[in-house]
């Protein structure tokens, strides 16, 4: 049996561009992808904070250092420039691999700069 757990999250990313006529995907600044461990072409879930709309697509590396978060193709329908998104990637783990797992999560400012690395409690750790 596999368990699907959160692996990576970009919290409150701001949409910087939208291209309905592109092939699809979410273009992301590679610096942001690397900060949380999202790989090029990896499956991601994208959620619009204001509307609650969610869609699955893949991560496409954009211009390094740009703060780029661009909705492409059908993804352009879930938001507009300036909207805040939550971008999530998941991993499949066997039950015996779950203990100690913790996602890599960063919060972003309005220019898609990392302002905080969120330290989630590892699975199985005493929360307090």
Q: Which residues are catalytic?
A: 25, 58
Residue 95's Cβ-side half-sphere holds a number of Cα atoms within 13 Å equal to: 1
CA distance 48 to 86: 7
Contacts of 81 (CB under 8 A, 6+ apart): 15, 16, 17, 18
Contact 16, 63 (CB under 8 A): no
Q: What sections of the chain are H helices per DSSP?
A: 30-36
Residue 113's Cβ-side half-sphere holds a number of Cα atoms within 13 Å equal to: 3
């Amino acid at each position: 049996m596999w368990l699907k757990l959160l692996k990576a999250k970009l919290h409150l990313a701001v949409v910087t561009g939208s291209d309905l006529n592109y092939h699809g995907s979410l273009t992301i600044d590679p610096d942001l992808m690397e900060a949380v461990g999202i790989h090029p072409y990896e499956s991601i879930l994208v959620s619009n904070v204001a509307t609650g709309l969610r869609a699955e697509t893949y991560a496409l590396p954009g211009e390094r250092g740009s703060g780029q978060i661009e909705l492409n193709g059908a993804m352009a329908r879930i938001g507009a420039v300036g909207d805040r998104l939550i971008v999530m990637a998941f991993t499949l783990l066997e039950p015996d691999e779950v203990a100690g797992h913790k996602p890599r999560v960063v919060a972003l400012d309005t220019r898609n700069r990392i302002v905080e690395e969120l330290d989630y409690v590892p699975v199985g750790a005493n929360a307090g």
